[in-house]
Amino acid sequence: MKSYLVGRGQKQGRKADIVLADSDTSVSGIHLELLIEKAGRYYVTDYNSINGTFHIVDNQWQPLKQAYIKLDEPLLLGRYQTCVRKILEQRPAERKPPPKPKPAINTDIESIQTGSVERDPETGDIIPAQKY
């Protein structure tokens, strides 16, 4: 199950997981919670928003406190009309951890040279020792 707080930004120090960028001030900082069940069902709970959450029942907008909602079922958050699909489209991209760095040293034992070495007097580089 995955849970998202949805709204205009934040409320009482809690930040929305999905920020509705094109919403108006009738949408609360955190307006609702959207749960996505493993079975693929969507459950919406109004988060005590000031202007309420509504869905259509018998061709009329009715207040919604908690309910299962279909993906494209119209929702009204204050005066802002949307649906679960449009809300989910505004999810931030999932962050992936950065790739692990490659070792800084050569770990290929076969390619490591052996034997005596010396410094090149002009460059200071370490070079194989000259056989005299």
| 51, two tokens | 């202007």
Q: Where are the chain's structural domains? A: 2-89
Q: What is the pLDDT along the chain (132 residues), one digit of tens a residue?
A: 999 999 998 777 889 999 998 888 999 999 999 999 999 999 999 999 999 999 999 999 999 999 999 999 999 999 999 999 999 999 987 767 777 777 766 666 666 667 788 888 888 888 888 776
| CATH architecture designation of domain 2-89 | Sandwich (2.60)
Burial 76-97 (b: 16+ CB within 10 A, else e): bbbebebbbeebeeeeeeeeee
Its pTM surpasses 0.75: no
